[in-house]
Structure 1
Amino acid sequence: MMLSRWMSLCCVGLVGVLGGAGCAPGGGNGNDNTPSGNVNDNTDGNVNDNDDGDGDGLTAEQEAAVEAVTLLLNDLAAAFSGLKEMANPESYPTDSASFGTCPVVSASRDGTTWTIGLDYGDGCTNEYYGDATVSGQVTAVVDAEALTVEITFEAFSVDESTVDGTLSATLLSRPSDQLPFAIEASVDLETDNGLIVGTVTVFISSSDGEITLTDGQFTLVDNDDTAYVVSVDELVMDPQEHGNLIPEEGTASFELPTGVGDLTVLVTITFTEESPSTGVVLVTVSDAEPVEYTLSWVGE
């Protein structure tokens, strides 16, 4: 009952405030003696058949890149899940309020500007995150006239993906009686796994709990200071269904150096409906056949 109450009041976050209306809940096949190929290969593909990694057909460098990129995308999803949390109520307070337990929600208004706080403390669970534990704080300043929101994350963690930093968003479509609604966001975040800087368009749905990163590009820097420029396409995450933030469909692509001059290969990670439960993704290197790879950090 308390959870239902704070969910109905959280519309101050993005729906009640901003929407006004209420809402219902390339290369060749060269070998290592020529720079004409994309990856060292002694057979007919662009993947090193004599790899020293743990996956079937991926090099250790490719595996490390897949691990780093997926970890940071998981952290990015945690940031957007905070928006979803604030966008599922039916009404909002006319002045100020503090209520709820997971999270403790505070909301206050100054003219057309609202300040909303979500405090999960040292960790708790609620229905929006399945079995995942959520902790930390999220503070949003919403300008209802300009249709913008500035969000600050302080040790905000979902399923052990911890995020600090800021997210700036502009509403692209006003919420109505039914979500999803669209935002265009710029992110500058620091996580346990590295840095995330970039822009993305996001659809957020309260009816089925999904978050969709429709398109965007980021620079992801892991803890070894290796940078990846990653493009995402229709990444769909459903923490309510799966209890984690691993995408159930969509792709993430980036160029990876081959170690041969300035040559790179395009690496594409494809997520499937099995990925959230098994951690298995499909990795395509250049024009080679997709390789199944199990993410080592899933289920830890």
Structure 2
Amino acid sequence: MQGLRAQWPAALGGLIICVGATFFEVSHAAGAHLAVQVPAEVGRVGAGVPASPETIGSPAPVDPRWEVVRKLLRSGQYPAAESVARAMVKDRPSDVRAGFYLGLALHKGKRHGEALAYLERATAAPADSFPEAPHAVHYLGWCRYYLGDLAGARVAFTTHANAFPTYDDTQFALGLIAYEEDRLVESEAYFRRALELLGQQQGAARERAKNLARLGDVLLRQDRLPEAEQCYRRAVELFEQHGEAWSKLARVLDRLGRPEDAANARARQAAIKARTETEKPSP
């Protein structure tokens, strides 16, 4: 089961952060997006001092670093995002939103242990305390998952699913946890629900492939081989570079007594692995 967590980086995907106007969803085309709009803060007028027309109701200047850290996260520059967020936390240690972004940058940089406290604090904040607050629990769930705390992750994702039942990545996460806890009927239902939600979105082929591959894992464990084959084939049709799905497809084909087809699937998986190794940057 540890291998499963290693194979699916927060998704980690499966995944890609879209902060900015569609921050919540991080790598996914979600059904419940969060618009990151900084609420206008009314400038405080000194007691007894007549306010000029320019001062009354004028918003306080927005720290430009919010947009900087969002852009860095969106482009996968996690160390740089961490530096900006850490500077913001230093300047405003009581700002839960700044801590949330630092936790998110650490989490996306796979430093889950360091991210945990920041994300827990953000999750404990009132839902209206900062724009992303209602979704902090989703990232806390992934953080706990990668730290091996399945029970804690399940609580976090269930909380988020109750509030945002149309968010596909939370359904996917609950499916992974159910699979690892051998609750296969529930796992299948979660993956199918995620696929149903993704079917309503454009440009979500890779996300659908990810869910189909995991649904195939559930079916394979139950010896539902023809159904598993169908899932893996659909996964690689949607995302041809899905090496793990090719490998699992080969395993199913072996068990179905089709060694030539299995060999072809393994050849595809080997070619993907070789290409990935070639494309790795030099140390």
> Which structure would you say has the larger RCO, counting Cα contacts within 8 Å and 6 or more residues apart?
1
TM over 0.5: no
The two structures have a TM-score, normalised by structure 1, of 0.26
For the pair shown, the structure with the greater C-alpha radius of gyration is 2
- TM-score, with structure 2 as normaliser: 0.27
Bigger share in helix: 2
